[in-house]
Amino acid sequence: MPVFAYRGLAPNGRTINGVIDADSPRNARGKLRELGIFPTELSPEQVATKKPAMQRWLPTFGRRIPATELSLLTRQLSALLGAGVQLVD
């Protein structure tokens, strides 16, 4: 269902901004009026699409891990092992 960004006036005269799901701009205006909001601006909102996990991960592949991060990892792993947490079931 498309998403519409709106700006409108509440019954008390305050300006309200938000988004609403509706099939068409006409339905979006109708839904807003049912909520007591008088729409002054209405535009289709672009829905962000997520990249697949592999595409997010690939750019970082092969980069060196900073020494401070590696040191922190080993200290935290040591604390977990010292507390009795098993690495392998």
> Domain spans of the chain?
3-44
Q: Which letter does DSSP use for residue 75 in this model?
A: H
Q: Which of 37-46, 47-56, 59-68, 77-86 has the lowest mean pLDDT?
A: 47-56
- Better-scored residue on pLDDT, 50 or 78: 78
Residue 39 has pLDDT above 90, yes or no: yes
pTM over cut 0.85: no
Residue 34 has pLDDT above 80, yes or no: yes
Torsion sign (Cα): 49, 54, 55, 57: positive
In angstroms, the CA 15 to CA 22 distance is 21
